[in-house]
Copies of this chain bind each other. A is one copy, B any other.
Amino acid sequence: MTWERIITPDIVDKGYYIYTIEQRDVDFTGRATHVDLTGYILRAAGDDADKNGFGVSDLNLDNCSWVLSRMCVEYFRRPVVGEQITVVTWVNEINRMMTTRNMTVTDGEGEAVAKAVTQWAVIDMDKRIALDIRQHVNYDDSLMEEPCPVEKPVRVPRLKTEPAFVKRVSYSDIDFNRHMNAMKYLEWMIDALPINCLLDREMRRMDMNFLHEARYGQQLRMAFEDGERSLFEISGEDGMPLCMAALTWSDNPAGQS
């Protein structure tokens, strides 16, 4: 363990969170799923916002909440059960409608596991409309002049293919915001892929755009175009797009995790 090298004063300024990969986080190959690894990235966002006084529970007091608007993650390695990961996170942008929070994930050797850029909005809990973030969050002590660690989330184009999958938003899909959780979209997309797509290649980057909320009981449709990038469009029954995503793959060379 070389924590001395990882936890520099610079990182302490940024906020860092250490998590351990559990049995429930890994797939049948023994490595953390992209859903669970990304879950820890989002958990660090929540933990850091809580620490700085503008977490979900703080915003709830003001009848508003954080919602994820766009995110991207570049994955370098999927850790195994028992491995500790360190998520370093910092906020570097804010404007009226959106704020940008970044994460780097390293393993016990300080090697890169993942890097992420997330963009968030604040919504009114009842009216479900976006609010001026600066009126609800005091970022004065948190904003850092440090660039994003990877290219920001791209805008994913709408698909021309017909929806091939349907799903009803269920109890286990919804989170504290009472809408479908971001990671449940990703889980549905990955589950839609033939298993060979997951064994013969490795996801290197994921871009997601969240356009509208999916609420409990809603019927969703998912269209899918495969290729070097797998493109997904999840929409409501009226065709309104709710979530767009692009998953980028590389071949999975022997011995590569």
A interface residues with partner B (beta carbon < 8 Å): 23-24, 26-28, 30, 33, 35, 39, 43, 46, 170-176, 178, 187, 190-191, 193, 195, 198, 216-217
Closest to A57 in B: B81
Complex: A46 Cα to B190 Cα, angstroms: 27
Indicate if the CB atoms of B30 and A176 lie closer than 8 Å.
yes
Please give the distance in Å from A208's CB to the nearest CB on chain B: 17
Complex: A33 Cα to B171 Cα, angstroms: 10
Indicate if the CB atoms of A28 and B174 lie closer than 8 Å.
yes
Complex: A75 Cα to B191 Cα, angstroms: 31
| Residues of chain B contacted by A216 (CB below 8 angstroms) | 195
A171 touches which one: B174, B191, B217 (CB < 8 A)? B191
Please give the distance in Å from A206's CB to the nearest CB on chain B: 15
A187 touches which one: B46, B172, B176, B190 (CB < 8 A)? B172
| Residues of chain B contacted by A170 (CB below 8 angstroms) | 191
Pairs of residues from A and B, 8 with the lowest C-beta to C-beta distance, nearest first = A170-B191, A28-B178, A172-B187, A171-B191, A172-B191, A28-B174, A171-B190, A28-B176
| Residues of chain B contacted by A33 (CB below 8 angstroms) | 172
| Residues of chain B contacted by A46 (CB below 8 angstroms) | 23
Complex: A172 Cα to B185 Cα, angstroms: 12
Please give the distance in Å from A23's CB to the nearest CB on chain B: 7
| Residues of chain B contacted by A193 (CB below 8 angstroms) | 171
| Residues of chain B contacted by A191 (CB below 8 angstroms) | 170-173
| Residues of chain B contacted by A195 (CB below 8 angstroms) | 171, 216-217
Indicate if the CB atoms of B172 and A190 lie closer than 8 Å.
yes
Closest to A187 in B: B172
| Residues of chain B contacted by A28 (CB below 8 angstroms) | 174-176, 178
Complex: A39 Cα to B24 Cα, angstroms: 9
A35 touches which one: B26, B43, B172 (CB < 8 A)? B172
| Residues of chain B contacted by A172 (CB below 8 angstroms) | 33, 35, 187, 190-191
Please give the distance in Å from A192's CB to the nearest CB on chain B: 8
Centre residue among A23, A39, A43 by max chain B CB count within 10 A: A23
